[in-house]
Amino acid sequence: MSFQASIPVTIGLLFTPWNLDSFALTAASLALVGGILAYVAIGRREFGPGFAVAWFGLFAAFMVYVGVG
């Protein structure tokens, strides 16, 4: 199934314009930071309120960036 699913995705990616603007790059950067936070939380085996506040902060920062821009 994964092989069958990869062919349409590949074709779609080949014919899609890749115009990464500042919103896309900011979203990707914040997503990577959120992923690193998740990796740290998994390593510590804790998902306390500190991590939730940090993830919400990343989301709020992006919403502010989109709202201002």
Range of 30's domain? Answer: 20-68
Residue 27 lies in a domain: yes
> What tens digit of pLDDT does each residue of 22-63 get?
888 999 999 999 999 999 999 988 878 998 999 999 999 999
Residue 2 has pLDDT above 80, yes or no: no
pLDDT > 90? residue 19 = no
Q: Is the sign of the CA dihedral 7, 17, 35, 53 positive or negative? A: negative
Number of domains the chain contains = 1
Please determine, for residue 8, whether its predicted confidence score (pLDDT) is greater than 80. yes
Asked if residue 2 belongs to a domain, the reply is no
Q: How far apart are CA 41 and CA 68, in angstroms?
A: 31
Residue 46 lies in a domain: yes
Assess contact for 31 and 38: CB atoms under 8 A.
no
Number of residues assigned to the chain: 69
In a domain, 12, yes or no: no
Is residue 8, in this structure, part of any structural domain at all? no
pLDDT surpasses 90 at 1: no
List the one residue out of 59, 60, 34, 58 whose CA is nearest residue 47: 34
For residue 4, tell me if it sits in a domain: no
